[in-house]
Amino acid sequence: MAQPLAAPAARGQKRRMIIATELTWVAPEAAFLALSGPGVAFLDSSATGDARACVSYLCLAPQATLVLAEAPYTALRNWMAAHQPAPLPNWPFPFKGGAVGWIGYDAARVCAGVDSRHPPMQGLPPGWFGLYTTLLGFDHTTQRLHYLGPRERLVEIAARLAVPAAALPLPSLDWHAEMGRDAYLAGHERLRDYIAAGDVYQANFTFRFTTPRPPQATLPALHMALRALSPAPFAACIDAGHYGLVSASPERFIRLHADGRVETRPIKGTAARHPDPALDAAAARALSQNPKERAENLMITDLLRHDLGQVCAIGSITVPELFAVESFAQAHHLVSAVTGQLRPGLDAFDLLAATLPGGSITGAPKRRAMQIIDELEPAPRGAYCGTLAWIGFDGAMDSAIIIRTITATANTLYAQAGGGITWDSSAPAEYEEAMLKISPLLALGHG
């Protein structure tokens, strides 16, 4: 039953009546096609049958937007505080309205005090968020759809959902590598020199592909093509107008419950899927027992235990899962879990400040790894390897690492991949692993 409550309006305007009510079920992707456009944020848990992919959100008509520059954590906290709504109606999803967007790797690197030799990425801000109180929530398990938003928009939205939307064709794309295989192999060996010298134990080394962006390569068209090739539990399409992100991320970064419970799930360790079920299961078993992959995962798990220790209560940090294998469309991954309890008086923004950039996409020790990454990679990372997040008005948060992601500016599309390099890493094998990870992105626009 709808529960009307008054929500804030701009000065001099009438307050809108916000309701929460159930609608007739429409699949998330169909709703996205019907309602997509600038300002829409689609948090698309599209990995069918995956326990991590039980809820999706379609966030519509942001009441405010924020382009991040310096001091993103303080700016986000102050911005959300200035737009705090009246209490919203109850509805049965973890995200109960708030901010959705991203903080890029380079913004987090600056906050961590690490300089860069690269100029800032052109055409894409360091971060972007929209503030949403108009949402569709999709419960995949029960196939129930709920609406949260202004009463006056409900009829229009329901009418648009009732009309089947046409598929979005994607034009041909011409991807080019900024770093060829030989250059990658040379960079890998330089990184191993740093490991041998004791600078780092591990560093995440990546490379990038680019393509001109045709006008028909809209963010919704890119997202629908990518979700068909690589459904993922933390997929998303953030359409900020002339720029945005299309992500098939498999990796949760930080989850924060409203009561202060924290979880992070770093991915380190990869094995290709196999069409033969027996061989596929054997690949997963081999990954779980691989000494190199387990050592790499343990290093990053320890790093994240340290990061969470800066903001979590003493004695609260545990590792309930170590070296679990999770399976995705193209790859098996080795995943661990670290949990804790946020200290009283701290919030999601303190948590992000303590943990970004994520350890799984920097290395250990984190600061020196970031310096080496900047030296070896030929371009800024921009949004890639930052975090895509929702941050609720109630203090809860969920976030993903920005990997397996297309970054879109007005004129260019970017795709990037890599992996953690240790002393035992094989340069050719690491290159092939990175190409496996990026393969669904490069397949976009190829028929």
Tens digits of per-residue pLDDT, 377-426?
999 999 999 999 999 999 999 999 999 999 999 999 999 999 999 999 99
Percent of the chain whose predicted confidence (pLDDT) is above 70: 96
Question: Residue 447 domain-assigned?
Answer: no
In this predicted structure, the answer to whether residue 11 has a pLDDT above a threshold of 90 is no
Q: Is 242 left (phi over 0), alpha (psi -120 to 50) or beta?
A: alpha
b/e for 210-222, b at 16 or more Cβ within 10 A?
bbebeeebbbbbb
- CATH number for the domain spanning 300: value is 3.60.120.10
Measure the CA–CA gap between 41 and 31, rounded to whole angstroms.
12
| Total domains in the fold of the chain | 1
Mean pLDDT on 49-64 = 88
Task: State the catalytic residues.
Answer: 251, 268
Residues 6+ apart with CB under 8 A from 192: 421, 423, 425
Question: Residue 125 domain-assigned?
Answer: yes
Question: Residue 319 domain-assigned?
Answer: yes
pTM exceeding the 0.95 threshold for the entire prediction: no
Neighbouring-strand partners of residue 76: none
Question: Residue 207 domain-assigned?
Answer: yes
Percent of the chain whose predicted confidence (pLDDT) is above 90: 79
Amino acid (1-letter code) at residue 396: A
φ and ψ at residue 93, rounded to 5 degrees: -135, 150
The answer to whether the beta carbons of residues 90 and 20 sit under 8 Å apart is yes
Mean pLDDT on 154-179 = 93
Tens of pLDDT along 73-116? Answer: 999 999 999 998 888 888 999 999 999 999 999 999 999 999 99
pLDDT, position 447: 56
pLDDT, position 5: 28
Show the CA angle centred on residue 71, arms to residues 363 and 345, nearest 5°: 85
Three-state secondary-structure class, residue 410: coil
Whole domain around residue 341: which residue ranges? 5-442
Report the greatest alpha carbon distance in the chain. 66
Question: Residue 275 domain-assigned?
Answer: yes
Mean pLDDT on 361-387 = 96
Question: Residue 47 domain-assigned?
Answer: yes
